[in-house]
Amino acid sequence: MDVRRAWGMVVLWVLALLFALNTGREWAYNLLYFITAVLVITLWWAWANLQGLTLRRGSRIQRSQVGKYFEESLELANRSSWPKLWVEVDDYSDLPGHQVSRVVSALAGRATSRWQVRTLCQQRGRYTMGPIRLTSGDPLGLFHFTRPMAETISLVVAPATVPLPGFTPPTGYLPGGEAMHRRTPYITASVSGVRDYAPGDSFNRIHWPSTARTGRLISKEFELDPEADLWIFLDMEASVHVAAPWTPKAPEPLSWATRRAEMRLELPPSTIEYGVTIAASLVEHFLRMDREVGFLSYPKHREFIQPDRGERQLNRLLEVLAVIQAEGRVPLAQMLASDGAHLSRHTTLIVITPSTDTKWVTALRGLQARGVKGIGVFIAASTFGPSPDYAGTIADLQASGLTAYLVKRGDDLQAALSHSVSGVGRRGA
């Protein structure tokens, strides 16, 4: 509501009332009646402009990814016969750059206004689309009314992923012979045979064709997976991460090229974002290879996901990586010492960290001595901002015989993770 204009009309009405009462003239009363009619009509008009309106918002999916466009369609419908002179749609979504707000003018009775919004996702996270507030008023601008639309939609923006065809860690195969045919109580991809149902067997162990043929419940027997688990440890200790100031770029005009390639990936200059993107890319890479992938990190609270394979595991891990932040206090060396002790032989462990503390290298070397195949993906924090030199850490990794990859600010991740470092520790930063 325009407060000045509305108060001006109220003052004018009071003056007209006093003038009519004091003079008793007919034209003074006519003026009072006219001002009263204008106030009543405009007040009713402003109120009626928000009646019968419905707004629907929707999207095909509630998930997106950094570097891709999120599409949302909105529909403002006028269910009444009374036309709406103008309706302002104010959106309170927290997705950066999401421009839904607009003014819909001259919305006829029983008419619908539709529009679509495409927003380039440049920051991972969990966002809320909405709520929306509708505002309208009278033609003279004396009164404004608002109506909240509380409906919201949740959107998860997963971190970007890059293809890693050149990343070839140790295969992690379990030893052959009898070990390959050892029975396991867990469900794996390797089915060895069937047996009678035993109390406690889950329904997904039941072999339904045999059950139908025999007339009694038959369960499947599983063998150990011929490929060992692959674990990703992501270092989220707050003190080791570095970030430089960054402002998202304005998206380029939508064209056929951007529809095909979306946008060239440009990560924020932050070791956190590089680490999360590397972890997401490795998760996608190995799950597409039908490997079992597990994940462990210590942000504010422990994030632990058991090894599994398939699309459901990919979605679960990407959702965790979408919101994870470097708020942890557990050093990587401590994480390797406590949680790494539970890893079995022939497991492949990939550690992603910017930490220059060589204690974690010593811990990883100890795990390798126990039969865990250790790989270090080291993010050079000194290329992002003030941080200790990383040459000694790389040299220690090489001296320990551990496979190591080095990632610097601005590197093409696909190229950086295609070749392990060689002699970098002697060259320095």
To the nearest 10°, report the CA torsion of 417, 422, 427, 429. 20
What token pair was written down for 140?
């003279």
pLDDT at residue 424 in the model: 43
Q: Which of 104-108, 113-117, 182-186, 211-215 has the lowest mean pLDDT?
A: 182-186
Distance CA 113, CA 254 (A): 22
pLDDT at residue 251 in the model: 66
Sequence-distant (≥ 6) Cβ neighbours of residue 405 within 8 angstroms: 167, 375, 376, 377, 378, 416, 417, 419, 420, 421
Distance CA 265, CA 172 (A): 31
Task: List, for residues 368-393, the tens digit of each pLDDT value.
Answer: 999 999 999 999 999 999 999 999 99
Cα 179 vs. chain centroid, distance in angstroms? 40
pLDDT confidence band for 191 (50 / 70 / 90): low
Task: List, for residues 335-362, the tens digit of each pLDDT value.
Answer: 999 999 999 888 999 999 999 999 999 9
Task: List, for residues 263-273, the tens digit of each pLDDT value.
Answer: 567 899 999 99
Instruction: Please check the confidence at residue 238 and state whether its pLDDT lies above 50.
Output: yes
pLDDT at residue 179 in the model: 41
Instruction: Please check the confidence at residue 182 and state whether its pLDDT lies above 50.
Output: no
Domain ranges of the chain: 1-158, 177-223, 230-427
For the chain, what is the mean pLDDT?
Answer: 87
Distance CA 88, CA 206 (A): 58
CATH C-level class of 230-427? alpha beta
Distance CA 146, CA 123 (A): 32
Instruction: Please check the confidence at residue 408 and state whether its pLDDT lies above 60.
Output: yes
Q: Which of 111-115, 186-190, 240-244, 283-287 has the lowest mean pLDDT?
A: 186-190
pLDDT at residue 53 in the model: 96
What is the CA angle 404-407-412, rounded to 5? 125
Task: List, for residues 14-52, the tens digit of each pLDDT value.
Answer: 888 898 888 888 999 999 999 999 889 998 999 999 999
Distance CA 185, CA 183 (A): 7
**pLDDT above 90: percentage of residues in the chain:** 62
* Helices H / strands E in the chain, number of each: 11, 19
Instruction: Please check the confidence at residue 169 and state whether its pLDDT lies above 80.
Output: no
CATH architecture assigned to 1-158: Sandwich (2.60)
pLDDT at residue 178 in the model: 41
Instruction: Please check the confidence at residue 209 and state whether its pLDDT lies above 90.
Output: no
pLDDT at residue 300 in the model: 92
Distance CA 351, CA 331 (A): 13
Model confidence, pTM = 0.80
